[in-house]
Amino acid sequence: MGDSKLAARKVPRWPGTDQCAGSGLLVPGPEPRILSFSQGHDTPPTFHKTQERPIDGPSVGAQELSAKEVAQLRGETPGVEGGIHLNNAGAGLMPTRVLNAVQEHLELEAVQGGYEAATLRRSAMDEAYADVAKLVKASPDRVAFLESATVGVAQALSSIPFRPGDRIVTTRDDYVSNQIMYISLRERLQVEVIRAPDGPEGGVDLGALEELIHRKAPRLVSVTHVPTNSGLVQPVEEIGVMARHRDVLYLVDACQSVGQIPVDVEAWGCDFLAASARKYLRGPRGTGFLYLSDRVLEQGLEPLFPDLRGADWVDDDLYQPAADARRFETWESSVAGLLGMGAAARYARDVGVERGGRRAFRLAALLRERLAGLPGVRVLDRGSRLCAIVTVAVEGWRPRELVRSLRAQGVRTSASELGSGLLDFRDKGVEGALRLSPHYYNTEEEVHEAVDRLEGILTGSSDSGP
Ligand SMILES: Cc1ncc(COP(=O)(O)O)c(C=O)c1O
């Protein structure tokens, strides 16, 4: 009796899932059919159709926000008073509604006690899950609340029972921390990390990626939708088709996407989707989420270190993982943060991610156009589809110095250092980039003002020098 308890690691939950916890994923499809992204391969017509339309950015038909709406949105954004905020890829400005949701709960905690306050706001917490789920077109029980995208990716990776020789297929533009985690898996578990090459326009070469998925039968395909260090948008929906076709787990890092680009976990066909709320979603810092597909849960995948939130301890040597996405959460979390993230998701849906994104894309295009005209400035963004992140290299200047000089003039930007996009920056022959990332609440005047101030810095007609 005692022995059998010791031998048990956990309670079997779903009939038949134990043997397929990860292990069924490498079985090749019944007929090895190569999809249509590279020349010379079979060409199922559906994929041609998909390629012809804008994949996942605001669609051409989407109406933009009116001037009146923009004025109202600015009125609901206290931070626009303090400067020109072009650092939404770092952290967006919280709207008043989000700020209130966080503050009100912290005040409740101060008066009632943290645990008691959580009990009082139970239904509001459930609504927050529902609002975030709606934003990505998932069901609420498939969303885990976490403190960041990085934690989401780490939880996801830790749930896959990698064995030596397993492969991860990824891109050259995946987020730095994800790349570090892949390398760590390689060092510790001898997992092979394969990066698909970029195509001539920038962004992953779909044909090459498809070939790799076909030939290498990876355990996981992992792609960052919008990298931190450029305006590129990767074709996550097409990649999802490939992953599904080969029955391979698929992880999407949508940290920069949520709030900027409509996210649809079903259409993208992903198994994991990790995001932070503080960027284009305009939520509070220290909040994020991880979406999990049915098959992740049904296959019994769970983080390497579940805790009492993600599992019940049911006998001496037995635990029972939660049946839903809670399995990927941990006990302690910021209830104020969850409520703030929920408010941010609701706000984003009220504004309309597609409409807001369309405006942010246009402001970014204006920025690129103006910046390209400045002396010594090179716009670095490449790819067939660009979003609201703008990156430039400026001859004779380190990005960090420019950020400081612009900050002194009331313009908030950020620096992408070499290590945050090592492969991409090396390909582009630069040491890093100045990153400007507008949102829908920015104005054309702010864009022109920011570029004028940068020009003043570069030409020495303002106070700040290199
Ligand atoms: C593309 C991308 N993925 C992941 C992250 C990490 O997000 P977090 O800092 O919330 O873990 C970032 C942060 O900038 C990012 O840009």
What does the pLDDT look like over 94-126, one tens digit per residue?
Answer: 999 999 999 999 999 999 999 999 999 999 999
Please, what is the angle between helix 206-216 and helix 236-245, to 10°? Answer: 20
Mean pLDDT, range 311-335, rounded to an integer: 98
Mean pLDDT, range 391-410, rounded to an integer: 98
Higher pLDDT, 46 or 149: 149
**Mean pLDDT computed over every residue of the chain:** 89
Atom of ligand 1 nearest to the CA of 278: 10
pTM score above 0.85: yes
How would residue 440 be classed by pLDDT, with cut points 50, 70 and 90?
A: very high
What does the pLDDT look like over 218-247, one tens digit per residue?
Answer: 999 999 999 999 999 999 999 999 999 999
228 CA distance to ligand 1 centroid (A)? 7
pLDDT at res. 21: 28
Q: Whose CA is nearest to atom 10 of ligand 1?
A: 148
pLDDT at res. 464: 53
Residues 388, 435: Cα–Cα separation, whole Å: 10
375 CA distance to ligand 1 centroid (A)? 31
Which residues, listed in sequence order, are joined to residue 222 by a DSSP beta bridge?
251
Nearest to 398 by CA among 417, 424, 425, 378: 417
Classified as helix, coil or strand, 306 is: coil
332 pLDDT more than 50: yes
pLDDT at res. 461: 84
437 CA distance to ligand 1 centroid (A)? 14
44 pLDDT more than 90: no
Nearest to 397 by CA among 461, 454, 462, 463: 454
* Ligand 1 pocket mutation pick from 175, 389, 435 by most atoms within 8 angstroms of CB: 175
89 CA distance to ligand 1 centroid (A)? 9
DSSP code of 418?
G
Atom of ligand 1 nearest to the CA of 151: 11
* Ligand 1 pocket mutation pick from 276, 420, 435 by most atoms within 8 angstroms of CB: 276
47 pLDDT more than 70: no
pLDDT at res. 63: 85
Q: Whose CA is nearest to atom 11 of ligand 1?
A: 150
Query: Checking phi first, is residue 22 left (phi over 0); if not, alpha (psi -120 to 50) or beta?
Result: left
* Ligand 1 pocket mutation pick from 228, 278, 391 by most atoms within 8 angstroms of CB: 228
Query: Checking phi first, is residue 362 left (phi over 0); if not, alpha (psi -120 to 50) or beta?
Result: alpha
Around ligand 1, the residues with Cβ closer than 6 Å are 148-150, 175, 177, 224, 227-228, 253, 255-256, 276, 288
27 CA distance to ligand 1 centroid (A)? 32
Element containing residue 457 per DSSP (H, E): helix 444-459
Atom of ligand 1 nearest to the CA of 288: 10
67 CA distance to ligand 1 centroid (A)? 31
415 pLDDT more than 50: yes
Please, what is the angle between helix 335-351 and helix 96-112, to 10°? Answer: 160
430 CA distance to ligand 1 centroid (A)? 21
What does the pLDDT look like over 242-278, one tens digit per residue?
Answer: 999 999 999 999 999 999 999 999 999 999 999 999 9
Cβ proximity of 441 and 280 under 8 Å: no
Q: How many CA atoms lie within 13 A of 444 on its CB side?
A: 5
Residues 380, 393: Cα–Cα separation, whole Å: 7
192 CA distance to ligand 1 centroid (A)? 23
Cβ proximity of 455 and 371 under 8 Å: no
pLDDT at res. 427: 96
Could you tell me the end-to-end alpha-carbon distance of the chain, in angstroms, rounded to an integer? 73
Residues 229, 10: Cα–Cα separation, whole Å: 42
277 CA distance to ligand 1 centroid (A)? 10
Q: Whose CA is nearest to atom 15 of ligand 1?
A: 228
pLDDT at res. 392: 98
11 pLDDT more than 60: no
pLDDT at res. 62: 64
Mean pLDDT, range 409-416, rounded to an integer: 98
287 pLDDT more than 70: yes
Atom of ligand 1 nearest to the CA of 149: 11
Instruction: Determine how β-strand 377-379 pairs with β-strand 288-292.
Output: unpaired
Alpha helices in 113-205 (DSSP H): 114-120, 122-136, 149-159, 176-189
Ordered by start, the domain boundaries in the chain are 67-87+353-459, 100-350
User: Topology of domain 100-350, per CATH?
Assistant: Aspartate Aminotransferase; domain 2 (3.40.640)
pLDDT at res. 119: 98
Instruction: State the burial class of residue 395 (Cβ atoms within 10 Å of its Cβ: 0-12, 13-18, 19+).
Output: exposed
pLDDT at res. 171: 98
Q: Whose CA is nearest to atom 14 of ligand 1?
A: 228
162 pLDDT more than 80: yes
Atom of ligand 1 nearest to the CA of 253: 3
Cβ proximity of 127 and 263 under 8 Å: no
25 CA distance to ligand 1 centroid (A)? 28
Comparing 54-63, 109-118, 203-212, 262-271, the range with the smallest average pLDDT is 54-63
36 pLDDT more than 90: no
55 pLDDT more than 50: no
pLDDT at res. 297: 97
3 pLDDT more than 70: no
- Ordered DSSP codes for 72-130: HHHHT-GGGGGSEE-BTTT-PPPPHHHHHHHHHHHHHHHHH-HHHHHHHTHHHHHHHHH
Atom of ligand 1 nearest to the CA of 227: 1
Atom of ligand 1 nearest to the CA of 152: 11
Atom of ligand 1 nearest to the CA of 90: 14
User: Topology of domain 67-87+353-459, per CATH?
Assistant: Aspartate Aminotransferase, domain 1 (3.90.1150)
Element containing residue 272 per DSSP (H, E): strand 272-276
1 pLDDT more than 60: no
